[in-house]
Amino acid sequence: MSTQPKSPTQIVSPPDPGSESSSEHRKNRRRMSTGHGILFFVTAWLIVLMPFLFWWNTWFGRQLSQKQLTEYLRDERHPRHIQHALVQIGERMAKRDQGVTQFYPEVVRLGSYSVEEVRNTDAWVMGQDTSSPEFHTALLKMLSDPSLMVRGNAALSLVRFGDATGRPHIVALLNPAQVTAPESGKVIDAARLGTAVHQGGLIAKLEDGSQTIQVRSPIPGRIRSLSVQIGESVAAGAEVAAVDPAPEQVWEALRALYLVGQPDDVSAVVPYERELPDIPDRVRQQAVLTEKAIHERTKP
């Protein structure tokens, strides 16, 4: 009698002792991946958000309410808030907005504020309303300011009042600024010739014992010459560098001298009539027009 063949035995894989831990590992990886994704998202968001917040807090174009203007003008801990308020007031003054006249006493007060950048902005703002005798008086006082830029901006604003008292300070805006050492010391670092600097930009560092002294530019512009070398000792008051004024500063000075310039000022105007790489065409054209206006106005 034949025997029925047995069905092939089904082969069953033995249980993997690591299967549970592998499953748990995959779950952990998913959790870790999710955590990394969230961390990456947050980091990317901060990379975008932080510059925005910095821009938002420093951009003077952001409109301020009347209440904010009052608060910002008196924010002694944040001079840039004061500048922001002044810029907003100046723009509204230019539009003949009478709603800002309540802030005029504050604007006058800030003409003697301790921070140079605030005084500089303030001088510009007071030139936006030539009907204010208080502004006129304050600007005349600012012609004695220790800052070259503040004196220059005050003189430019006075021209709007039809007052040429500050003309020498306007001419000074066309000339290279002489940068001197505030204290004696040894030069340990210096910028390069031709470097563009902003107002307050670092020109050189001096060392006097354990003290480091920073030499900064009084104007925005470009380093024209350096009178010191690294390792050299300089005395207090010695010239460190000369800085050519920025085109925008030259442009404003030329426009003012177009109205109030005198023959003695022509020698400061003529250099800007030349074709030089750092002088824009509009500045060169303005220099030509300014010289012509001076000759026309003063000819016998």
Domain residue limits, the chain = 54-172, 177-245, 254-300
* pLDDT beyond 70 at 56: no
Asked whether 107 and 122 are in contact (CB, 8 A), the reply is yes
Whole-number pLDDT of residue 53: 37
Q: Which residue has the tokens 């350096």?
A: 226
Dump pLDDT digits (tens) for 30-45: 555 665 666 655 555 4
Q: Angle formed by the axes of helices 116-126 and 79-94, to 10°?
A: 10
pTM of this prediction exceeds 0.95: no
CATH number listed for the domain at residues 54-172 = 1.25.10.10
User: For residues 52 and 63, what is the distance between their CA atoms, to the nearest angstrom?
Assistant: 16
pLDDT classification of 2: cutoffs 50, 70, 90: very low
Asked whether 69 and 85 are in contact (CB, 8 A), the reply is yes
**What does DSSP assign to residue 111?**
G
**Mean pLDDT within 224-235:** 94
Which residues contact residue 98 at a Cβ distance below 8 angstroms, ignoring those fewer than 6 apart? none
* pLDDT beyond 80 at 60: no
**Mean pLDDT within 65-88:** 92
**What are 262-268's contacts with CB under 8 Å, separation 24+?**
262/167, 262/294, 262/298, 263/294, 263/295, 263/298, 265/167, 265/171, 265/294, 266/291, 266/294, 266/295, 268/171, 268/174, 268/175
* Mean of per-residue pLDDT scores for the chain: 85
pLDDT classification of 63: cutoffs 50, 70, 90: confident
User: For residues 179 and 162, what is the distance between their CA atoms, to the nearest angstrom?
Assistant: 32
Burial 89-125 (b: 16+ CB within 10 A, else e): bbbbbeeeeeebeebbebbbebbebeebbbbbbbbbb
Whole-number pLDDT of residue 11: 39
The identity of residue 4, as a single letter, is Q
Whole-number pLDDT of residue 32: 52
Q: What is the share, in percent, of the chain residues with pLDDT greater than 70?
A: 79
User: For residues 45 and 43, what is the distance between their CA atoms, to the nearest angstrom?
Assistant: 5
The first and second tokens of residue 181, run together, are 């050492």
Whole-number pLDDT of residue 217: 96
Dump pLDDT digits (tens) for 154-185: 999 999 999 999 999 999 999 999 999 999 99
Whole-number pLDDT of residue 277: 81
Question: How is domain 177-245 classified at the CATH fold level?
Answer: OB fold (Dihydrolipoamide Acetyltransferase, E2P) (2.40.50)
Whole-number pLDDT of residue 190: 95
* pLDDT beyond 90 at 103: yes
pLDDT: is 145 or 42 the higher one? 145
